Amino acid sequence: MHWSIQEIARLTGVTSRTLRHYDAVGLLPALRTTASGPRRYDRIALVRLQRILLLRDLGLGLGDIAGVLDSDQDEAKALRRHLVSLRAEQHRLARQIASVERTVAALEKDPEAKEDIMAKDMLDGFDHTQYEQEVTERWGRDAYATSDAWWRGLGEDGQQQWKARAEALRKAWTDAAEAGLDPAADEAQAVAARHAEWLSSIPGTPGHELGRPDRGYLLGLADMYVADERFAANYGGNEGATFVRDVLRAYAERAYPDSES
């Protein structure tokens, strides 16, 4: 089955001019029966257009969108990741709606009792991640959006459980450093393996689909733990962060013996 450019424009709200531009730059090639014939779109093109629109909503430019589409051609898997993001965004918007409704109800009940409205009730669903810009610059807007949507979708209980897991891992690093372990020691490498598993469990992390973080991503984080004092503070300062970096470097040599990236 095929659809005309006018039908696609009507269904999506994307103008015919924009669709022609997508065709001209190779982002969304259209089908033609002849060189000068009318543009037609098949099911494959519609799936690609759906992904383009989702990525555009994340704020990606056309060049970045083309890069994502070319590097991730498993459309079903890619759309499943988008689905996670959309459901998390749906959940966040529902929280915002409920938050505003509570504020309106409280103000209408007693306009003078504004101080009785709890801040956590007024601002639920309006939180944001402080590292958005850094993550986006290092690993792309899609990586940030996916991981951020996953985090929001955990809900308060899930977030508390995740924080507890992160704290347990941080303590394991601190204990290993204080014990004076050699970075290559089995005990230290066991903590590194936990750390790698922890990272790869987050959707959007490079290597998430493979069940372990990309080597370059892991080593980049290891260096950042030392270079950025905010991260170093999680491991007791520069000395502790340096230990974590050295252990992760040793882990990378073992876990990725054939990789150079």
For residue 187, the enclosing domain spans: 155-261
Please tell me the predicted confidence (pLDDT) of residue 139: 47
Any domain includes 233? yes
Please tell me the predicted confidence (pLDDT) of residue 260: 47
Please tell me the predicted confidence (pLDDT) of residue 186: 95
Please tell me the predicted confidence (pLDDT) of residue 130: 45
Any domain includes 236? yes
Do 159 and 260 reside in the same domain of the chain? yes
Do 164 and 261 reside in the same domain of the chain? yes
Please tell me the predicted confidence (pLDDT) of residue 156: 78
Please tell me the predicted confidence (pLDDT) of residue 141: 57
Any domain includes 38? yes
Per-position b or e across 104-113, b if 16+ CB within 10 A of its CB? eebeeeeeee
Contacts of 149 (CB under 8 A, 6+ apart): 84, 85, 86, 87, 88, 89, 203
Any domain includes 41? yes
Any domain includes 142? no
Please tell me the predicted confidence (pLDDT) of residue 236: 83
Any domain includes 86? no
Please tell me the predicted confidence (pLDDT) of residue 89: 66
Please tell me the predicted confidence (pLDDT) of residue 261: 41
- DSSP character for 40? E
Any domain includes 135? no
Q: CA–CA separation, 114 vs 20, rounded Å?
A: 53
List the CATH number of the domain containing 27: 1.10.1660.10
pLDDT along the chain (261 residues), means of 10: 90 91 93 79 91 80 83 76 68 74 77 54 50 49 65 78 86 92 95 92 78 86 82 84 95 78 41
25 within 8 A of 17, measured Cβ to Cβ: no
Any domain includes 227? yes
Tell me how many domains the chain contains: 2
Tell me the whole-structure pTM to 2 decimals: 0.48
Closest alpha carbon to 176 in 165, 160, 163, 192: 192
Please tell me the predicted confidence (pLDDT) of residue 180: 93
List the CATH number of the domain containing 168: 1.10.490
Q: Of 44, 72, 100, which residue sits at a domain end? A: 72
Please tell me the predicted confidence (pLDDT) of residue 140: 55
